[in-house]
Amino acid sequence: MNERGTSSPILPGDWLGMIGGGQLGRMFCHAAQSLGFKVAVLDPDPLSPAGAVAERHIRAAYDDAEALAELAGICKAVTTEFENVPAASLEALAGHGALTRPDARAVAIVQDRIQEKAFLTRSGVPVAPYQPIENPAAIVSAPDALFPGILKAARLGYDGKGQVRVSSREQALQAFHDLGGRPCVLEALLPLDHEISVVLARGVDGATVVYPSATNAHRDGILAVSSVDAAAATGDVSRAAGEAALQIAEALHYVGVLCVEFFVLTDGRLIANEIAPRPHNSGHYTMNASVVSQFEQQVRATAGLPLGDTGSLASVVMLNLLGDLWFEADAATAREPDWASVLAVPGAQLHLYGKAEARRGRKMGHVNVLGADMAQAQQRARRVAAVLGLPLDA
């Protein structure tokens, strides 16, 4: 723990640090700046979306010792935008006197699926049956109940990368080889009804706030649609998921914004899938449909300020915008989507991430489509989807 002087919050006008320069960092910068903070971003990419809007962009690797010392010298507190920030970098920042929110211990647990599964089990939160896989012998001896299953690389997997569905030991052995023989988790496939996620924030003082759970649909392993029905925000499933997510945050002694993804099984059981120690794509709906967004919560938690109201202002459907939308069929040349027609739909709120180049599969932005109720939000979302040529799965 490095929470020195936590009784005094960091006030507007001061500096906050961000490790990571992607779209989540960019939206953090906007939220921090609206509250009067200045932001320094550490990211090696000269075209970093967050670096483009921050007051200072330190262009260096995440583990660069001089850059970390510079960041700690500027900022009283530092947060992160992705789960694979080296835990050693957070330890180095703490050694230089910067408050790290979240801290190295929490990040180290959730960036390794083997540690994460064990932590969830110890915390009393149900997970799918699983077994750590560090060599082929572990696959040979794995229980029959883990097949069919999914083999997941223990580290550096996201958006469906580093994951292979397997129906037999032979397929699992081949998948382990294809993944480079690195440590993995073999997880049983369960009868899934749908997926949800919960975003919450926990402050330095242990205070917590929880957003209504989002119902999610994925395409090719990437989140495509998140929906939140304001009228169902206090339903049994949402409440149970929120309580489980809080249990996880408390056990981690977490400070900051955190997302927990859950499977809802056909028999109604909740199974924790994974933890993201940062704001989450499925929480982007909060930017327009909540009193305080997940990014403002991250600013507040990082600065040690009181957390904000997570109440819903409207029902909402969030549509993820990938770079594929910039290309027609098999065209090689990108063209700009019809944003004017998107913005002509009532309740449509467009957020683009300032990325210099559209590429297929690259997250370029999102649209939050609001309605007085879920039926209206979905009807409007279908209009937006039709303009963009998007299939609407939720």
**CA pair distance 34, 192, nearest whole angstrom:** 41
Residue 165, phi then psi, degrees to nearest 5 = -75, 135
Name every residue whose Cβ is closer than 8 Å to that of residue 211 and which is 6 or more positions away in sequence: 198, 199, 200, 283, 286, 290, 294, 310
Helix, strand, coil content of the chain in percent (nearest 5): 30, 25, 40
Residue 295, burial from CB neighbour count under 10 angstroms (0-12, 13-18, 19+): buried
Q: How many helices (H) and strands (E) does the chain have?
A: 12, 18
- Listing DSSP states for 83-128 in one string gives TTS-HHHHHHHHHTT-EESS-HHHHHHHTSHHHHHHHHHHTT--B-
181: left (phi over 0), alpha (psi -120 to 50) or beta: left
Known binding-site residue numbers for ATP: 113, 152, 157-163, 187-190, 195, 218, 273-274
Indicate the SS3 state at residue 290: strand
**What's the rounded Cα separation, in Å, for the pair 213 and 154?**
26
Is-contact 183 199, C-beta < 8 A? no
Question: Based on the number of CB atoms within 10 Å of its own CB, is 273 exposed (0-12), middle (13-18) or buried (19 or more)?
Answer: middle
Show Cβ contacts of residue 116 under 8 Å, excluding neighbours closer than 6 positions. Answer: 109, 110, 274, 275
Q: How many CA atoms lie within 13 A of 374 on its CB side?
A: 11
User: Annotated binding site: which residue ranges?
Assistant: 113, 152, 157-163, 187-190, 195, 218, 273-274
For residues 26 and 301, give the distance between their C-alpha atoms in angstroms, rounded to a whole number. Answer: 17
Distance of CA 27 to CAs 16, 48, 206, 276, 298, Å? 14, 12, 24, 17, 10
